[in-house]
Amino acid sequence: MKYSFLWILAFTLIQPTNAQENITIEEIWRDYKFFGKSVPGFNFQKDGKHYTTLEEEKIVQYDFTTGEKTKVLLDLNALRKEKNAFPGQIDSYKFSEDEEQILIKTGTEAIYRRSTKANFYIKQKNSARPLELSAMGKQMYATFSPDGNKIAYVIDNDIYYRDLKTMEEFRITKDGRKNKIINGSADWVYEEEFSFAKAFYWSPDSKKIAYQKFDESRVKEFTMTLYNDGAYPEYKTFKYPKVGEDNAIVTVHIFDLDNKKTLLVDADYESKGMDATEQIYFPRVTWTQDPNKLCVTRMNRHQNELKLLLADATTGETKTLLSETNKYYIDVTNDLTFLKNGKEFIWTSEKSGFNHIYLYNLKGKEVKALTSGNFDVTSFYGVDEKREMVFYQAAKVSPMNREVYSVDLKGANTKRLTPKDGTNRAQFNSTFDYYVNRFSTANSATTYNVMDLSGKVIRSLEENTNVATLQSDYGTTPVEFIKVPSADPAIQLNASIIKPQNFDATKKYPVFMYVYGGPGSQTVQNSFGGANYWWFQMLAQEGYIVVSVDNRGTGARGEEFKKMTYKELGKYETEDQIAAAKYLAEQAYVDSSRIGIFGWSYGGYMSSLCILKGADVFKSAIAVAPVTNWKWYDSIYTERYMRTLKENESGYQDNSPVYFADQLKGSYLLVHGIADDNVHWQNTTEMANALINANKQFDTYYYPNRNHGIFGGNTRLHLYTKMTNFIKETL
C-alpha cells in the first residue's frame, strides 16, 4: 500500500494574517483556485545544456541556464498538413540515445497505477513523418535499444521488437495469455508493491533483452463490478494474490537477438509443488556495464533475505555477488548502480541502523561507506564518474527536513548543496553540472530554481507568489511543529498543529486529527502541501484545531523506529495516536469531548482502529478506502510487515478493525470506491457487516467505478462536501 495519495492529503503551515475571505469546498475542488503552479520534470539532453518540453503540439528545445528557446525539434501541426501524417495528440515522447530519433506516445490508456498501453510512432531524422511502431495492437513500454537501432515493446503479454533499419518486426515470446502468462510486464502485485511495470531490459550492447516471465496460472482471481449504461454491469477480473496465497511464479530469461535463442537464468527457482509461502521474488533486474553480465535481485517471500545474483548472459549460470539479511525486512530500491569503470557498484542499505550509501567492488566486498551517521539518506540521485561524486538527499538536519548533498567516491568531502532548511528535492541534468531544486517550507509555497553545485541560484523558474497572495486574502493561520508523547514515555513524536483564526487560549476548541501512519511514511514535514492544506485551513476558519502526528513506524528516524511495528501493524501506531489525542485533551484550550480523526488508505485503517480502540477518546472518525482486515490485502505488502495469517494469527486478529466493531461508540464514516483494485471494496463491505452484526450505527459513502484515488469530474467535490458536513454534524 503505497502512500502516493499523500500529495492529496498533505497539509502545510503558513504565516498568519487577519481573515478577509472564507475558504469554500467549491473553490478548492471545483474551481481549483488555490493550486500553486508547478514545473514539470525536465527532459534533459545529453549535452547537459539543453532540455525539451512539449507545448502546443511542439517539442521545443531550451537552454537550461538561460531559459532561451533554441529550437523546435518537432512541430505536429506542420506534420498534420501532410495526409495521414499522424493521428491524435502527443501524450509523451522520448529520444534515442543519439537524440536523432523520437518515440512518440499517443492514445494512452491507463491500466493500473503505473501501467499503460498506447500507440507509438517513430520520428526518424530523415523521415518526413512518424512511422507506426506496430499494427498488432496498442503497445506497452516501447523502449529504444542503446544503439538506437531497435525498439522493444509488449503487446498482449508478449514481447516484440522492431528493427529500425529494416523495419522488420520480430516476436520474442509466443505464450502470453491474459490471466495466465505475462512476458516483459509486471503482474498487479509486483507493479503495486515493487514499483515497476516494464519488465524487460536491453543489454548495454543492444544484442540481448533480459525479461521477467510471470506465470499467474495458480494465482486466484479478483473481480470488480463496473456500473455503466448497460442493462448488465461489467466485470473486470484480474489476478490478485492475497495474504498466504500463491503468487505468480516469476522467472528471468535472456533473449539473444543474433541467434534468436532464449535461455533461463539459473536463479535457484523453487518448484511449482512447493508451499506458497516458500515462493521467491525477483524485484529488480539490472545489466552491469558488461553486456555479458546481468544482475538479478532475488528475495525470499518473507523479504528479509536478499541476494544479488550475477548471471552469465551466455550460459545463464549465476554466482552470488552480495547477500544481505535483516531481522525485520529489506526495502527494495532503484539505487543499485554499476559504475562505468566496470569494477564497482553503488548500493544502499539500512545495515547500520540508518539508510546509507556504500561502494562495493564486483567481488561483493564493501570498499567504503560513502555516508554514515544517525540520519537517513532519503533519495539517491546518481553518480558523476568524471568528478567521482555521488549526489543524494538526506534528512540530516531533522526528520522533517530534506537537504541535497554530494560526497566523493572515497567517502570524503561531503558538501551540502542546498543552503536553506526545509524540503529540497533535486533533479540533476545529464552532466551533473546543474540541478532544478524544488524547495518549500511549512510556511512558503514551492519554488523552482536552477542551481549550480555551489548552491547558487542561476535562474528562477517559478516563485508561486500568487499562493502568498491567496494566503493573505484568506487570512490563513500558521502551524507550529510540536512534540507530543507516544505511548512509550521514552519516545517523543513529531506533530504539527493548525490553530483557528484569532485563537484564544482561554477558550476550548474541537480537534480534528489527520493520520496516515504507515511504514516509512510521513505527514509531518517542513514542506508545502496540496489541496488538503486549504481544506484544513477552512476547518480552522470554522473553529477546529487541526493536528497531525507521525507515530512510531513512520520514516526518516532510522530503522528501529520505522520497523518496530513488524508483525504488529497498527498496534503501536494506534497506541501513539490515542496517546497524542489524550495529550491534546489535557491542554486547556482543547474540548476533550470533541476529538475526531481522518485518514485515507493506511490512514483509513488507522482512523478505524482509533475510533474503535480509542472509543473513549475519539468522538468521530472518517475512513476513506481503509484496510479493515489484513488478510484481505495483497501478499507482498502485507507479508513484508506481518508475515502470513498462518504464521502470525494474533498479529492479524489483534490489529484488524473488523474484529473490534462492537467497541464503536462515536460517529463513523466509511468511504470507498467500488472499483478500487488496490484496497478492495470488500474491506468496507465486510466492515459494514461487522458493524451491522454488532448493531452499531454508522455512515457510509460509496463511489461506483472509482479506484483507490476516488477522483474524476465532481467526485472530489462530492466527497469533501460529505466529509465537511460529517465533521460539522458530529464533532
Read off the pLDDT of residues 36-65 as tens digits, 9 standing for 90 and up: 888 877 889 999 999 999 988 899 999 999
* pLDDT of 444 strictly over 90: no
Give the pLDDT confidence score for residue 272 in this predicted structure. Answer: 47
Read off the pLDDT of residues 474-520 as tens digits, 9 standing for 90 and up: 999 998 999 999 999 999 999 999 999 899 999 999 999 999 999 99
- Please list the helix, strand and coil fractions of the chain in percent, rounded to the nearest 5, in that order: 15, 35, 45
Q: Which residues of 513-532 are buried (b: 16+ CB within 10 A; e: fewer)?
A: bbbbbbbebbbbbbbbbbbb
Read off the pLDDT of residues 302-360 as tens digits, 9 standing for 90 and up: 999 999 999 999 999 999 999 999 999 999 999 999 999 999 999 999 999 999 999 99
- What is the separation, in whole angstroms, between the first and last Cα of the chain? 29
Residue 386 CA, distance from chain mean position? 31
508: enclosing H helix or E strand:
none
DSSP string across 92-144:
EEEE-TTSSEEEEEEEEEE-SSS-EEEEEEEEETT-SS-EES-SSS-BEEEEE
Q: For residues 178 and 217, give the distance between their C-alpha atoms in angstroms, rounded to a whole number.
A: 10
Higher pLDDT, 15 or 223: 223
User: Which grid coordinates are listed for 594?
Assistant: 470533541
Q: For residues 166 and 620, give the distance between their C-alpha atoms in angstroms, rounded to a whole number.
A: 66
Handedness of CA 488, 491, 496, 497 (dihedral sign): positive
**Predicted confidence band of residue 7 (pLDDT cuts 50, 70, 90):** very low
Backbone angles phi, psi at 49, to 5 degrees: -100, -20
User: Which grid coordinates are listed for 274?
Assistant: 512447493
- Mean pLDDT computed over 686-690: 98
Beta bridge partners of 474: none
Classify residue 242: in a domain, yes or no.
Answer: no
- Mean pLDDT computed over 383-406: 97
Classify residue 20: in a domain, yes or no.
Answer: yes
Q: For residues 417 and 454, give the distance between their C-alpha atoms in angstroms, rounded to a whole number.
A: 6
Q: For residues 482 and 494, give the distance between their C-alpha atoms in angstroms, rounded to a whole number.
A: 6
* pLDDT of 17 strictly over 70: no
* pLDDT of 268 strictly over 90: no
Give the pLDDT confidence score for residue 168 in this predicted structure. Answer: 96
Classify residue 442: in a domain, yes or no.
Answer: no
Q: For residues 302 and 281, give the distance between their C-alpha atoms in angstroms, rounded to a whole number.
A: 10
Mean of the per-residue pLDDT values for the chain?
94
DSSP string across 384-423:
ETTTTEEEEEE--S-TT-BEEEEEETTS---EE---SSSE
Burial of 410 (C-beta count, 10 Å sphere; 0-12/13-18/19+):
exposed
**Predicted confidence band of residue 580 (pLDDT cuts 50, 70, 90):** very high
* Range(s) of the domain holding residue 495: 6-34+474-730
**What letter does residue 509 receive in the DSSP assignment?**
E
**Predicted confidence band of residue 276 (pLDDT cuts 50, 70, 90):** low
CATH number for the domain harbouring residue 519: 3.40.50.1820
Classify residue 149: in a domain, yes or no.
Answer: no
Q: For residues 622 and 620, give the distance between their C-alpha atoms in angstroms, rounded to a whole number.
A: 7
- Mean pLDDT computed over 126-150: 93
Please tell me the total number of residues recorded for the chain in this structure.
Answer: 731
- Mean pLDDT computed over 682-698: 98
What Cα–Cα distance (Å) separates residue 601 from each residue in 570, 624, 634? 13, 6, 14
- Mean pLDDT computed over 282-310: 97
Classify residue 724: in a domain, yes or no.
Answer: yes
**Predicted confidence band of residue 1 (pLDDT cuts 50, 70, 90):** low
* pLDDT of 18 strictly over 90: no
Classify residue 616: in a domain, yes or no.
Answer: yes
* pLDDT of 277 strictly over 70: no
Which positions ≥6 away from 215 have C-beta within 8 Å?
180, 181, 248, 249, 250, 251
Give the pLDDT confidence score for residue 358 in this predicted structure. Answer: 98
**Predicted confidence band of residue 270 (pLDDT cuts 50, 70, 90):** low
Give the global pTM: 0.94
* pLDDT of 468 strictly over 70: yes
- Mean pLDDT computed over 568-593: 98
**Predicted confidence band of residue 443 (pLDDT cuts 50, 70, 90):** confident
Classify residue 467: in a domain, yes or no.
Answer: no
Q: For residues 576 and 484, give the distance between their C-alpha atoms in angstroms, rounded to a whole number.
A: 9
Beta bridge partners of 316: none
Give the pLDDT confidence score for residue 586 in this predicted structure. Answer: 98
188: enclosing H helix or E strand:
helix 188-193
Q: What percent of the chain has pLDDT over 70?
A: 96
Residue closest to 552 by CA, chosen among 544, 543, 561: 561
* pLDDT of 88 strictly over 90: no
Provide the residue type at 248 as one letter.
A
Provide the residue type at 621 as one letter.
A
Q: Are 33 and 27 in contact (CB under 8 A)?
A: yes
Residue closest to 299 by CA, chosen among 329, 271, 319: 329
Q: Which of 74-83, 401-410, 425-434, 458-467 has the lowest mean pLDDT?
A: 74-83
For the chain, the domain total comes to 1
Classify residue 226: in a domain, yes or no.
Answer: no
Q: For residues 13 and 489, give the distance between their C-alpha atoms in angstroms, rounded to a whole number.
A: 28
* pLDDT of 620 strictly over 70: yes
Q: For residues 135 and 557, give the distance between their C-alpha atoms in angstroms, rounded to a whole number.
A: 52
Q: For residues 1 and 710, give the distance between their C-alpha atoms in angstroms, rounded to a whole number.
A: 16
